[in-house]
Amino acid sequence: MNRFFSITRLVALLAKETIQMRRDRVTFAMMIGVPLVQLMLLGFAINTDPKELPAALVAPTQDRFTRAMVSALELTGYYRFIVPSASAAEAEQMIARGDMAFVVTVPSDFGRRIERNDRATILIQADATDPSVASGAISTLSTVARSALLREIGGHSSGKAAPVEIVIHRLYNPEAVTQFNIVPGLLGIILQLTMVMMTAMALTRETERGTMENLLSMPATPLEIMLGKVIPYLGVGAVQVVVVLASAKLMFDVPFDGALWLVLAGIFVFVLVLVILGYLISTVSRTQMQAMQLTFFFFLPSLMLSGFMFPYRGMPPWAQYLGAVFPLTYFLRLIGSVMLKGADLQTVAGSYTALGSFVLILSAAALLRFRRTLD
């Protein structure tokens, strides 16, 4: 028998590893699932030049020149007027909530000024909290306005001055500073990665160390065990929140226009969602390695579909529906609205409701799953 290398021994080891891999279904599913998820997301959902962005039109008198401008904006592919007749107050609320990327305001005397060959003005307000969303759409405005109106009034001279002036207001981030959008979002990313992973290993650590029997022998209900595992990590999350918020203000000078208690309350609910989710993952996993793998399997699509890396409104509808099932999506809306837009409780109530629903649903699932684990 060859003491240095043996085909028989190698075949036996390969057979053993194959059987072990087949038994570890979670790891095998990660090996197949993660590449497929990356391919689907990067190939179909991700768009660095977002198109079909939601817009609202404020136009008291929708004459033929106004209709020509709206049609020209839609033909660029960047604007999708889902609210064609909004009031100024309604449009302001919609862009503050994040429902609209643009608000186009056409004055009531726009058509009369064009007919008299006077210079008319159109106001376009862009939600610039994410500068990459508005950059492409804004860059085409001057050419679009010129060609649309010249065609409508029958102008043919290419050197003729455009009879309309486009006034652009980049709301909430007029200087288009990328850090104003990235740094608050990083708080959600850091919390999600650490909180879910640490709590996902809480129950599996007990199983691997053989102390699960001692835990189950205690006169404690599943709810008490869950709270005992979850609450200590809330303190860890609080430390991370202080560090990130202090760095955002002192190092990056991120504006903080909203109420501090709104931000802290939203962070608390979000962290509660994360630790309960991690606990639910720990009831499914048998080992800490499986818990870590499931955590990354959840982390990857939420990172790409939540609107942090790529504009949420620029993704196709099916990707937006898929991104709506991740808590990070609502947290990014909440913290961005409060910190950059100065939103009040009524404006971010939808995000609070969504995060609260995640708490209830995940808590119920974790308790039911833990009872099945006991069985």
* 225 located within any domain: yes
Q: How confident is the model at residue 68 (pLDDT cuts 50, 70, 90)?
A: confident
240 in the same domain as 207: yes
350 in the same domain as 232: yes
Range of the domain at 89: 53-171
Give per-residue pLDDT as tens, 186-242.
999 999 988 888 888 877 877 777 666 666 677 777 777 777 877 888 888 888 888
| Of the ranges 15-24, 46-55, 164-173, 190-199, the best mean pLDDT one | 190-199
* 32 located within any domain: no
User: Which of 171, 188, 220 is a domain's end point?
Assistant: 171
In percent, the amount of the chain with pLDDT more than 90 equals 13
Give the number of domains in the chain: 2
Distance (Å, rounded) from C-alpha 222 to C-alpha 371? 7
Q: How confident is the model at residue 120 (pLDDT cuts 50, 70, 90)?
A: confident
Predicted confidence at residue 86, as pLDDT, reads: 86
199 in the same domain as 112: no
248 in the same domain as 160: no
CATH number of the structural domain spanning residue 84 = 3.40.1710.10
Q: How confident is the model at residue 154 (pLDDT cuts 50, 70, 90)?
A: low
Q: For residue 238, what are its two tokens?
A: 């609080």
Distance (Å, rounded) from C-alpha 239 to C-alpha 188? 14
User: Which of 171, 192, 222 is a domain's end point?
Assistant: 171
73 Cβ contact partners less than 8 Å away, ≥ 6 residues apart: 55, 79, 81, 104, 144
User: Which of 149, 171, 193 is a domain's end point?
Assistant: 171
98: left (phi over 0), alpha (psi -120 to 50) or beta: left
* 25 located within any domain: no
Q: How confident is the model at residue 156 (pLDDT cuts 50, 70, 90)?
A: very low
The answer to whether the pTM exceeds 0.85 is no
264 in the same domain as 287: yes
288 in the same domain as 248: yes
